[in-house]
Amino acid sequence: MPTVLLIAVPYVAAVLFLGGLAWRVWTWAATPEPFRIPTTTGQQRSLAGIAPSRVESPSTTAGVVGRMLLEGLLFRSLFRNVASGPTAAGTCPDPVFLERKALWLGAMAFHWSLLVIVVRHLGLFVEPIPRVASFVASVDGFFQVGSPSWYATDVIVIVALGYLLFRRVRDPLLRYLTLPADYLALAVLIAVVGSGVVLRYVARTDLIAVRQYTLGLAALAPTAPASPGAGFVLHLLSVSVLLAILPFTKMVHAAGMWLSPTRNQANDGRRRRHVNPWNAPAPFHTYEEWEDEFREKLQAAGLPIEREDGRFQNPQAGGGERGAPPAAQAPLT
C-alpha cells in the first residue's frame, strides 16, 4: 500500500497540477477582452505638459512589460498597502494614510524563499545536479550553522508563513474577511514547509534512497524507497496535495497574475479606438446621415441644421459603417 501511495500519488498530483494549470490558462485565453480595463495608479499619457506615469499607468507595451515585471518580481501593488491612522491632535496632522509594508515584506520573503527552495530541490530530479541548484543551495547554506547546515530560507519561509497566518488571525476585521480557502492555502504551505524542515533536521531519511526514487519519478520509472519513514511520506503527501489543489485555489495567481486584464493592458483607451469584435451588425443611422437625407425638407421648414450648404458625407461612400468613427466631428473647444 505505501509503495502504491508513493508512486501513484505524485503522478496524480502532477497530472492535476499541469492539466489544471493548462485548463485554467486556456479558459483565460479563451475569454475575450474587447475593452481596455486597466486599473491604474498614475497619470495616464495626456497633454505634452503633463508628466505621464509610464509604468504605473502604461500607455505602451514596454510600459506594460515594466509594470508586469514590477508586479511579478517585486509585488508593487502590495508595496502600496496603506492603513488609515489617527491624526495627532493639536499638532500638524500626520498623514491619514500610513504606509504598511509588513504584508509586502512577508509576501516577498515567502515567495522568494519558495523559489529558492524549489530550485534547490531541482537537484533531486535532474542528474547531474544542475549548477544553479547547487549554487543556490550553497548560497542558502552560507551561514554553515549546524550539521546538516541550516538553510537561511528554511528560517525565512517559516517566519514569513507564520506572519501571514498571524496577520489574518490577529486583526478581527481581517479575520472576518478570511475565508476557509485562505486558511487552506496557508495550511497546505505550512504543512509542506513544516514537514520538509522536520525531514531535514529531525526525522531524517536516507537521502540516497530518496534521490533514487525522485530520479525514478522524473524518468517515469519509479521505485519506492524501501523504508521512507513517516517524515518523508508526510512531506511527499503534503507537496502532492499542494500541487494538486494549486490550479483550483487562489494559489493559481502564479499564472493568473500575468493574465489579469486589469494589469496587462495598456491604458490607451482614449488614444486608440477599441471596437468590440462581436458587436451585432446593427444598422444605425447617424444624425449626419439623417440631416443629409432631410436637408431640403428641414431647410424648407426653417429648422436649424448643422450644415446649410453641402452634405456631411459623400453619398457614394454609403456611410454608417459599423464601428467606423463619425466622418466629421466638431472640434473640441
Partner 1 sequence: MRNRILILAGLALCLAALTWPVWRALASAPAPAPSLARPVGATRCVAPVGFMRTSHMTLLAEWRDRVVRDGVRTYTDADGRVVTMSLSGTCLRACHADKTKFCDRCHDYAGVKPTCWGCHVVPTATGAIVSGPAAPSRSSRPGAAL
Site residues for partner 1 per CB under 8 A: 18, 21-22, 25-26, 28-30, 33, 122-123, 125-129, 133-134, 137-138, 144-149, 204-208, 211-212, 215-216, 218-221, 227, 229, 255, 258-259
Least distance between partner 1 and beta carbon 293 (Å): 38
- Closest CB to partner 1 among 108 and 246? 246
The dihedral formed by the CA atoms of 168, 170, 174 and 175, expressed in degrees to the nearest 10: 80
- Closest CB to partner 1 among 138 and 279? 138
- Closest CB to partner 1 among 81 and 134? 134
Query: With contact defined as beta carbons under 8 Å apart, do 304 and 291 qualify?
Result: no
Burial of 144 (0-12, 13-18, 19+ CB in 10 A): exposed
Least distance between partner 1 and beta carbon 186 (Å): 23
- Closest CB to partner 1 among 17 and 163? 17
Neighbours of 65 (CB within 10 A): 13
Least distance between partner 1 and beta carbon 1 (Å): 22
In the block, which residue shows the cell 537537484? 123
- Comparing CA positions, the residue from 30, 29, 33, 25 lying closest to residue 265 is 33
Distance (Å) of CA 231 to CA 12, 118, 204: 21, 19, 7
- Cα distance between residue 284 and residue 321, in whole Å: 8
- Closest CB to partner 1 among 51 and 118? 118
- Cα distance between residue 114 and residue 135, in whole Å: 16
Least distance between partner 1 and beta carbon 159 (Å): 23
Least distance between partner 1 and beta carbon 95 (Å): 40
> Which residues fall within 8 angstroms of residue 188, CB to CB, at 6 or more apart?
238, 241, 242, 245
- Closest CB to partner 1 among 30 and 92? 30
Least distance between partner 1 and beta carbon 134 (Å): 5
